[in-house]
Amino acid sequence: MITVESARAQLFDLVNTLPSEPAPLMDAAGRVLAEDVAATRDQPPFASSSMDGYAVKSTEVEPHAMFKVIGEAAAGRRFDGQVGPGQAVRIFTGAPIPEGADFVVIQEDVDRRGDLITISDLPGPKSNIRPKGVDFEIGAKITAPRRLSPEDLALLAAMNIPMVPVARKPVVALIATGDELIMPGETPGPDQIIASNTFGIKALLEDVGAHVRVLPIASDTVSSLETAFALAADVDLVVTIGGASVGDYDLVSQVSTALGLERSFYKIRMRPGKPLMAGRLGDSVMVGLPGNPVSAMVCSYLFLAPMIRKMLGLEQVLTPLQSANLTEAIPANGPREHYMRAIVTGDRIKACQNQDSSLLSVLAEANALLVRQPNDPARLAGDEVMFLPI
């Protein structure tokens, strides 16, 4: 059995950054920027008013000063003339500052009668003018790689970049295996359970940025598994769930090997998730997850999500571990690296009572995986431990 670290290194060797493709800005949320992009204009493209008021010459601003209002400047409609001595232009937020003016007196600080305004309250030193290009100038860059946030999309729009170069989404096929499985909503036979892993893993991988195809459940026969693999021939990553262990109906290894799998490894010194396998299968990469629901999800956090991030070209593929102090003692660990379901509150962490790898109710309560090294000694309340947030 190999270590988690060595498994990760081998998995990363199997995948490369995918090529980029143009995406309409409207559909680019959450995609990974693949190439640097540059603003095609200044923002704002002209000096503009940050307040509603009157544009005047700053040298004339003093208590009781009077101005004649000679026109109006609104957002989208500038005043074409020149502001001369003793003159003011009615101006609104976002409007271009007229020639000759370099100060906006807010309307709360003036009295207006007809076309005449008088400064009633002395304005502060702020000119209420946003200089041209104060937000960004033409050529300002957003650098790749970067997962595009809602704020990034707004910035790209302001930069007038309607098509964005993004990494192609890795396509993942999920194949649940087992005669006992049916889909939610179907009527289970007496010995059947609902295929749950598919849904958790799909959500997790889509959240990271993959496109996930859920294939029909494969039954525990060679031909059914072969059909499922055939349906997944054109994807980047084929993920099987279950059938990875040593039982008579655990056929994933046998079938994938017969189909030409160049196996990288089988079995990791970890808990849960021991019977993980991976390798190259045709033009795809195959990862065989253990069927126990918690094992499958933990392996998805530890291995599949970082593989997707690498395919997307992201620099940080691993989620950094954090530390917290135990609220209760935990016993010594065995020989496998253990990812214990745990609940973190502030800087304190509590390992969940029951660590059985079938318990989705415990996993759903947890917000962290407490990481124990092989043979880690018993830990006391108050001890500092490391965890992976989930």
Residue ranges in contact with ligand LQZAQKY5 by CB under 6 A: 176, 178, 180-181, 193, 195-198, 241-247, 250, 272, 274-275, 290-293, 295, 357
Give the residue with the Cβ less far from ligand MOO, 224 or 333: 333
Smallest distance, ligand MOO to C-beta of residue 300, A: 12
Smallest distance, ligand MOO to C-beta of residue 295, A: 3
Give the residue with the Cβ less far from ligand LQZAQKY5, 201 or 368: 201
Number of residues located near ligand MOO, criterion CB under 6 A: 8
Q: Which residues contact 243 (CB under 8 A, 6 or more apart)?
A: 177, 178, 220, 225, 249, 250, 251, 252, 288, 291
Per CB under 6 A, 271 contacts ligand MOO? yes
Member of 279, 290, 293, 306 binding ligand MOO (CB under 6 A): 290
DSSP secondary structure letter of residue 109: G
25 and 33 Cβ atoms separated by less than 8 Å: no
The binder of 48, among ligand MOO, ligand LQZAQKY5, none, by C-beta within 5 to 8 A per type, is none
Q: CA–CA separation, 102 vs 128, rounded Å?
A: 9
Q: Hey, what amino acid is at 327?
A: T
Smallest distance, ligand LQZAQKY5 to C-beta of residue 215, A: 12
The binder of 246, among ligand LQZAQKY5, ligand MOO, none, by C-beta within 5 to 8 A per type, is ligand LQZAQKY5
Per CB under 6 A, 240 contacts ligand MOO? no
The DSSP-derived string for 187-211 is: ---TT-EE--HHHHHHHHHHHHT-E
Member of 295, 300, 333, 355 binding ligand MOO (CB under 6 A): 295
Taken as a whole, the chain contains a residue count of 390
Listed residue (96, 109, 112, 117) closest to 44, CA to CA = 96
Smallest distance, ligand MOO to C-beta of residue 2, A: 14
Give the residue with the Cβ less far from ligand LQZAQKY5, 98 or 272: 272
Q: CA–CA separation, 90 vs 81, rounded Å?
A: 13
CA angle 198, 3, 239 (to 5 degrees): 20
The binder of 227, among ligand MOO, ligand LQZAQKY5, none, by C-beta within 5 to 8 A per type, is none
Per CB under 6 A, 274 contacts ligand MOO? yes
The DSSP-derived string for 7-63 is: HHHHHHHH--PPPEEEEEGGG-TTPEE-S-EE-SS-BSSS-EESSSEEEE-GGG--T
Q: Which residues bind ligand MOO (CB under 6 A)?
A: 271-274, 290, 292, 295, 357
